[in-house]
Amino acid sequence: MPGIGSDREQVRALIAGDRAAFAQLFRQHNAAMVRVATGITGSRAVAEEVTQDAWVAVLKHIAGFEERSSLAGWIFTILVNRARSRARVEGRSVSFDAGGEDNSLAAAFDGRGHWKDTPALWEEITPDRIVAGRRMLDVVTAAIEALPPGQRAVMVLRGQQGLEAEEVCAILGINEGNMRVMLHRARLAVRAAIDRLER
């Protein structure tokens, strides 16, 4: 994630109307924005509209950016607020709660909380194969897209965009404990998807 220094340079360039700076910022965040907004609105088409609205708002109000958060944090705050408003208008209720207890691995343990079957080591997954194997990344992306809205947003903002924990909490209006629970559950779901591919 760019630091405040490079944020300042980017903001200055955007205020000056630097098209290349905007294109760079757009490519850095647009796909992630669509991913988060799709989770909130429940529709890729609506999410693309909302994301476009958010970009227009970002450029219209860029002079008012006060560095109280990172530039990315500010952009995602605008996006999430717009996506939630749109979801509300369409009668969709979106909750970012962690929900109840996670039982996805309940069957993996015996009564004393020890593994029934030892997990595989995933020796086949090497950095080379990750880079070459588009399919593996597609599986990961599909697993993230299947997550509930809160987990998906936390996974994208924290796990992919590298936003600070406090910033993710502020954007989604959740506490840090909830955020950690959602990140963990999201990772468990993605891990399970990779594990299915490996077997």
Partner 1 sequence: MLGLNCKQVVARSSALIDGELPFWEALQLRLHMAVCKGCTAFVHQMRVTRSLTLAAGQATPDDDAALAAVLARLASEGRDAG
Q: Left if phi > 0, otherwise alpha if psi is -120 to 50, otherwise beta: which for 182?
A: alpha
- Min dist CB 150 to partner 1, Å, is 15
In the complex, what is the shortest distance from the CB of residue 184 to partner 1, in angstroms, rounded to a whole number?
Answer: 4
Smallest gap from Cβ 167 to partner 1, in A, equals: 15
Instruction: Enter the tokens of residue 111.
Output: 């009564």
Count of CB atoms situated within 10 Å of the CB of 38: 21
Q: Please report how many Cα atoms fall inside a 13 Å half-sphere around the Cα of residue 122, on the Cβ side.
A: 14
Closer residue to partner 1 in complex, CB, 47/172: 47
Q: Which is nearer to partner 1, 43 or 141 (CB)?
A: 141
The residues of the shown chain that bind partner 1, judged by CB under 8 A, are 14, 17-20, 22-23, 26-27, 30-32, 48, 51-52, 55-56, 59-60, 105, 109, 112-115, 118-122, 125, 130-131, 136-137, 140-141, 144, 155-156, 159-162, 180, 183-184, 187, 190-191, 194-195
Instruction: Give the Cα separation of 26 and 143 in Å (integer).
Output: 24
Q: What sections of 62-164 are H helices per DSSP?
A: 71-89, 127-132, 134-145, 149-154
The span from the first CA to the last CA of the chain, in angstroms, equals 35
Distance of closest approach, residue 198 Cβ to partner 1, in angstroms: 9
Comparison of 34 and 172: residue with beta carbon closer to partner 1 = 34
